[in-house]
Structure 1
Amino acid sequence: MSTAAEIADHKSSVRERVWTELRKVAVADSRFHFDFGEFIADFEGGEEAVHRLIDHSFYRDAELIFITPDNCLDRLRLRALQDGKVVLMTTYSIKRGFWLLDPAKIAPDHYLYASTLDGMERVGQHLTLAEIQATLPNVDYMVTGTGAINHEGVRFGKGHGFFDSEWGMLYQIGRISVATPCAAVVHDCQVLVEKLTPDVYDTVVDIIFTPTRTIEVHNPHKPTCGIIWDRLDQHMFDTIPPLQELKAMGL
């Protein structure tokens, strides 16, 4: 059995190998350039990948979608607003919490601005976890970007665990379940054929959308542990108010 250090080393080597290939097709970030440890990049063919996602029944049937604040998903957040879907998202690193973008409450000429990280905090509505629990219906669909992923839907992100924390928080307040579909949008070079072993809190996706493929995952692992407090990085807890709120809620 591999030790925790060996697993961490393997994840790191996978990320570095994928990021070398991703740099050839990625769109540089205005703040982080090609530092893929700090952001999830947009990429050549990103529009085609999103078109595959919006043609799928998971998207068509969803009314409330959680979409991560990844560069490759800006156009999806815009399209969702144009299609009349309500978008729940977080800020970068979750540090300023959850925000709701309701197209019925946003002027259509502000949809593009609202879909960006800068705009969503000025146009959208900030919600605490208690407000999400009390005022919103269940989330119909969870969509994320990632650093690397295999055909079994096991994700390796930037290494910070933000999406798994978002899943854990929404799961603990009862707004998602193991039946909630989850998708990843990535470039083909980010899809691996090798075996990857998820941890108990890792959220495995139901479906992967690339510019050229739609990959469906059979029986993906969805964590039911919520936030495992004794395994949570102390810096994340100290800097992410929603995690502090969840702990205070005693859930």
Structure 2
Amino acid sequence: MSSQTSNYAEIADHKSSVRERVWTELRKVAVADSRFHFDFGEFIADFEGGEAAVERLLDNPYYRDARLIFITPDNCLDRLRLQALKDGKLVLMTTYSIKRGFWLLDPKKIAPEIYLYASTLDGMERVGEHMTLADIQTKLPNVDYMVTGTGAINLEGVRFGKGHGFFDAEWGMLYQLGKISVETPCAAVVHDCQVLSEKLNPDVYDTVVDVIFTPTRAINVSGPHKPTCGIIWDRLDQHMFDTIPPLQELKAMGL
């Protein structure tokens, strides 16, 4: 085994250990998912106090100043997508596991009485507009704000998600399209038990956030070091490439 391969394995083992430890505590406050129950390797859970965490995000200038927000399809962010529509903001999101791509929710094109439905994973595919990467590149303004849930995060803004790398892939694709940069603010919405004071060892493509919102506090990260590599094709899991059409589209675009 090469030293580089060994380093990758050590990082993966470290991430897995951190997740398992945090998930034990998260189970005490998480809201079970109808499909995955408490399998946190398959979904990002909503949690007790989720409303308060989102309220903190809504009161932050990053949100107030944003016109177009990318919001991940996490359970803890349903209410944020709904409020963003009510506030007249464009919402860009992906389907679960990105397999059916990116979708745009434009509140001007959706009847207010179905905003709640539109903010859900099932509803957004029925009332939203499917966006190819070419559409995102040519038809949309730059993304003003990136918001995600996660599995574990530390005070330096280093986040470890479910282990699939979906948000890292979303960041990488939008970065390569030129729709975000290291200056684009990024936030995580989590329960307090998911916030760690310890050092976390990120990989080169791991996303780092500017601010963390929990039910009890907003944590500003000083000088977050964000990835600038886009998609690293020789590190990309082959199964992800084979099952996520936007990755195939990006590869074909030659960016």
Normalised by the length of structure 1, the TM-score is: 0.99
Deviations 1:54-105 (A, max 9, x none): 0000000000000000000000000000000000000000000000000000
Which residue number corresponds to residue 215 of structure 1? 219
AA paired with 1:135?
K
Q: Secondary structure at the match of 1:111?
A: helix
Shift of 1:6: 2.1
Which residue number corresponds to residue 176 of structure 1? 180
Q: Which runs of 5+ in 2 are unaligned?
A: none
- After superposition, the CA RMSD in angstroms is 0.9
| Percent identity for Structure 1 against Structure 2 | 87
Which residue number corresponds to residue 29 of structure 1? 33
Structure 2 distance, partners of 1:4, 1:180, is 27
The reply to whether residue 107 of structure 1 matches residue 111 of structure 2 is: yes
Q: Secondary structure at the match of 2:147?
A: strand
The reply to whether residue 45 of structure 1 matches residue 49 of structure 2 is: yes
Q: Which runs of 5+ in 1 are unaligned?
A: none
Which residue number corresponds to residue 121 of structure 2? 117
Structure 1 distance, partners of 2:15, 2:168, is 16
Which residue number corresponds to residue 235 of structure 1? 239
The reply to whether residue 225 of structure 1 matches residue 229 of structure 2 is: yes
Structure 1 distance, partners of 2:242, 2:93, is 20
The reply to whether residue 5 of structure 1 matches residue 9 of structure 2 is: yes
The reply to whether residue 82 of structure 1 matches residue 64 of structure 2 is: no
Aligned pair count reads: 251
Structure 2 distance, partners of 1:119, 1:188, is 30
Which residue number corresponds to residue 166 of structure 1? 170
Structure 1 distance, partners of 2:70, 2:56, is 17
The reply to whether residue 202 of structure 1 matches residue 206 of structure 2 is: yes
Normalised by the length of structure 2, the TM-score is: 0.97
Shift of 1:224: 1.1
Structure 2 distance, partners of 1:202, 1:218, is 17
Structure 1 distance, partners of 2:184, 2:160, is 20
Structure 2 distance, partners of 1:29, 1:74, is 13
Deviations 1:106-147 (A, max 9, x none): 000010000000000001000000011000000000000000
Shift of 1:197: 1.7
Residues 187 and 211 in structure 2, CA contact (< 8 A), matched pair in contact too: yes
4+ residue stretches of structure 1 with deviation over 6 A? Answer: none
Structure 2 distance, partners of 1:71, 1:61, is 24
Residues 149 and 190 in structure 2, CA contact (< 8 A), matched pair in contact too: yes
